[in-house]
């Protein structure tokens, strides 16, 4: 399995095949089963954020309001939060940040013809990026989703062995895709003592704690992801999603608990 960094380097050298490869937190109504309803609207919402960014707490408020909004069918909406590291030089080192998450956002910026990167930012289904403070647009785009079923994916035989979470996957398609695996923690509380949010207690939801991706043309197989043993598995969800290798469009997604 390729490392994230090597895979990003590989993608850079073959832009004509795949111009971009990328990496919220769901108190959204995520189905905690291994396969989402293929007849339901679905979305992957990626939030790029940082505890050092003074504007980022606003996105948390947007999510709280969204969760309470009964006018939207939230079944199948999955949110994952990537903490970028480019704010770390401005007074506070975000304990959840990684450079590979910043690189993932930079590739989205190139793909979406943005001038640069910023936080907070939402990216929906790999195809639409906008400010993480724009609650009306988030609501509007998610409400506009129509039922779609390009592919299905299911997970089974999930187990933690040492520092790895292993599982078996089954896809309904054998086309080459980008296969993404993430472990997300449901909620983490941090007292920020420096930077733009100094003095604030930050609650980070569905934070990506471990991530890997690779190209895959198999319809089934075994895969694994490394887990930090300091995090109880009761607080961790396994999220697996498939993206089109040429457009980055979301094709299928599954969420599961870790026994």
Question: What is the pLDDT, as a whole number, of residue 160?
Answer: 94
Model confidence over 130-160: pLDDT tens digits? 999 999 999 999 888 866 656 789 999 999 9
* Structure letter (DSSP) for residue 111: H
Question: What is the pLDDT, as a whole number, of residue 151?
Answer: 77
Q: What angle do CA 75, 59, 178 make, to 5 degrees?
A: 55
In angstroms, the CA 32 to CA 229 distance is 22
Question: What is the pLDDT, as a whole number, of residue 106?
Answer: 95
Question: What is the pLDDT, as a whole number, of residue 33?
Answer: 37
Question: What is the pLDDT, as a whole number, of residue 147?
Answer: 60
Q: Are 100 and 15 in contact (CB under 8 A)?
A: no
Model confidence over 228-237: pLDDT tens digits? 888 888 889 9
Query: What's the structural domain count of the chain?
Result: 1
Question: What is the pLDDT, as a whole number, of residue 148?
Answer: 61
pLDDT band at 7, cuts 50/70/90? very low
In angstroms, the CA 102 to CA 107 distance is 9
Share of the chain above pLDDT 90, in %: 56
Sheet strands (E) in 63-152 = 77-83, 121-124, 128-131
**pLDDT exceeds cutoff 50 at 71:** yes
**CA proximity to 82, closest of 64, 108, 116:** 108
In angstroms, the CA 95 to CA 101 distance is 13
Model confidence over 162-173: pLDDT tens digits? 999 999 999 988
In angstroms, the CA 211 to CA 112 distance is 22
Give the pLDDT mean for 167-190: 92
pLDDT band at 3, cuts 50/70/90? very low
Question: What is the pLDDT, as a whole number, of residue 73?
Answer: 72
Question: What is the pLDDT, as a whole number, of residue 243?
Answer: 92
- Residue 52's φ and ψ, nearest 5 degrees, are -90, -5
Of the two residues 149 and 30, the one the predictor is more confident about is 149
Give the number of C-alpha atoms closer than 13 A to the C-alpha of residue 154, restricted to the C-beta side.
6
Model confidence over 99-111: pLDDT tens digits? 999 999 998 998 8
**pLDDT exceeds cutoff 50 at 177:** yes
In angstroms, the CA 117 to CA 124 distance is 16
Show the domain range for 155.
4-257
Q: How many CB atoms lie within 10 A of CB 56?
A: 26
Give the pLDDT mean for 236-257: 91
With H, G, I as helix, E, B as strand and everything else as coil, classify residue 222: strand
């Amino acid at each position: 399995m390729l490392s994230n960094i090597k895979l990003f380097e590989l993608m850079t050298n073959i832009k004509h095949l795949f111009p971009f490869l990328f990496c919220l937190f769901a108190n959204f109504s995520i189905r905690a089963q291994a396969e989402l309803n293929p007849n339901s609207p679905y979305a992957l919402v990626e939030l790029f954020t940082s505890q050092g960014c003074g504007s980022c707490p606003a996105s948390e408020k947007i999510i709280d309001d969204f969760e309470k909004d009964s006018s939207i069918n939230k079944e199948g909406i999955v949110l994952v939060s990537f903490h970028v590291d480019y704010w770390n030089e401005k007074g506070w080192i975000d304990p959840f940040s990684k450079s590979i998450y910043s690189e993932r956002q930079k590739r989205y910026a190139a793909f979406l013809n943005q001038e640069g990167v910023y936080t907070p930012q939402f990216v929906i289904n790999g195809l639409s990026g906008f400010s993480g403070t724009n609650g009306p647009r988030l609501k509007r785009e998610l409400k506009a989703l129509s039922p779609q079923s390009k592919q299905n994916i299911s997970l089974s035989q999930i187990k933690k062995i040492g520092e790895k979470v292993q599982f078996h996957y089954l896809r309904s398609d054998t086309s080459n895709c980008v296969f993404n695996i993430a472990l997300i923690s449901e909620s983490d509380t941090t007292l920020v003592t420096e930077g733009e949010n100094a003095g604030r207690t930050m609650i980070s939801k569905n934070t990506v704690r471990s991530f890997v991706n690779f190209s895959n043309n198999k319809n089934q197989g075994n895969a694994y992801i490394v887990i930090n043993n300091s995090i109880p598995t009761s607080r961790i969800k396994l999220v697996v999603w498939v993206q089109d290798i040429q457009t980055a469009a979301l094709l299928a997604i599954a969420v599961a608990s870790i026994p």
